[in-house]
Amino acid sequence: MQVPVSIEWKDGQLTILDQQKLPHIIEFIDLTTIEEVFDAILSLKVRGAPAIGITAAYGLALAAESHDTDELDAFEAYVRKDADYLASSRPTAVNLAWALERLLSTLPCAASVADAKQQLFREAEAIRAEDEAACRQIGEHGLELLENKMRVMTICNAGSIATAKYGTALAPFHLGSERGKKFDVYACETRPVYQGARLTVWELQQSGVDVTLITDSMAAHTIGAKDIEAIIVGADRVAANGDTANKIGTLNLALLAHTFGIPFYVAAPVSTFDLSIDSGKDIPIEERKAEEITHFGDVPVAPAGTNVYNPAFDVTPSKYITAIITEKGVIEPDFHQNIAGLLTAAAGKGEQ
């Protein structure tokens, strides 16, 4: 049994697991240009907020390598342009802009272009390593909240392949499995592109976690019929007041948790918090192409020319969130005050 890893950096080569092809084809592909990195993010070959940030960071370092100038100012201008390009690939997950910004912040300290190039790679690797450690800690904190043998529902894939390793919402299940704990996970299929059916089911099977697939529309019935005891989801951006953007359908689950009186947990690393945004109403929501809904693969389902609205994310107001599980600890309401407190304390210790 193994916790899968989807991003590898070895000998100057960036390789990702092509998540579009999972679960039936397990194929690692090399990303060698900034355009390939952009396309991999846009087309969901790599997806999940932390994984997007890590891939973009390596992508920026790779692109920087190709800029042929000894002038630091000119080099910085090229790298900033590359960062803007990569940042435009997907709008909702703040980890993307956050990771690129971290790389850019190393540039003023560089003594030469060669030094700047090295620092960009070092920062990308630091982001990857920190994310793996953060996700492991999220798993530990999650295990304090989820009791052995619990029946838990999730949506999308906030798992190992959406991060450096272990995942956020799925981290407690991976760690629990390593320690002989048992959970009954109910995975919503996650229309329109099936991150739940294709990715979460596959990933949990890899590490020996019991997982049952349902369609998104079965969630309310299943919570009652199968006595679901908690819901845990990931996040693409958490605003200062705790409002959380995550995969479309997450808000439905939060409202159901409220109605059924079960806890609704969000699991996210500190890199997913955006304190520049007061509330969820300012989180940009990605809209994706109509074919994700009108077609099933290449086969048309809806009549040609059908009007489509295809938001990829929704925002759960913090009043429906029981707790946010981070690597620094579990945040409970009052979220506004407690998020600021936890992040300030972490920054004071020089941790992010």
Ligand X SMILES: CSC[C@@H](O)[C@@H](O)C(=O)COP(=O)(O)O
Active site residues: 236
| CA–CA dist 128, 53 (Å, integer) | 9
Residue 333: strand pairing partners: none
Q: Residue 134: helix, strand or coil by DSSP?
A: helix
* Stretch 180-219 residues interacting with ligand X (CB under 6 A): 195
Query: Is residue 41 part of the contact set for ligand X (CB under 6 A)?
Result: no
237 is an annotated ligand-binding site residue: no
The least distance separating ligand X from the CB of residue 313, rounded to whole angstroms, comes to 6
CB of 131 to ligand X, least distance (A): 9
Provide Rg for the chain, Cα atoms. Answer: 20
Q: Which residue number is nearest to ligand X in terms of Cβ?
A: 234
Task: Please list every residue from 256 through 315 that binds ligand X, using CB under 6 A.
Answer: 312
- β-pairing verdict for 151-154 and 210-214: unpaired
| Residue 251 engages ligand X in binding (rule: CB under 6 A) | no
Q: Which is nearer to ligand X, 51 or 116 (CB)?
A: 51
Name which of 161 and 223 has its Cβ closer to ligand X.
Answer: 161
Integer Cα distance of 34 and 286 in angstroms: 21
- 167 lines the binding site for ligand X (CB under 6 A): yes
User: Considering beta carbons, is residue 93 or 113 the nearer one to ligand X?
Assistant: 93
Binding flag, residue 49, ligand X (CB under 6 A): yes
- Considering only 38, 45, 50, 256, the residue that binds ligand X (CB under 6 A) is 50
Alpha carbon 274 to chain centroid, angstroms: 14
Per the annotation, does 122 bind a ligand? Answer: no
**Three-state secondary structure string covering 53-64:** HHHHHHHHHHHH
Secondary structure of 259-320 in HEC code, one letter for each residue: HHCCCEEEECCHHHEECCCCCHHHCCCCECCCHHHHEECCEECCCCCCCCCCECEEEECHHH
Q: Which of 235, 251, 324, 331 binds ligand X (CB under 6 A)?
A: 235
The reply to whether 246 sits near ligand X by the rule CB under 6 A is yes
Q: Which residues bind ligand X (CB under 6 A)?
A: 47-50, 93, 156, 158, 162-163, 167-168, 195, 234-236, 246-247, 312
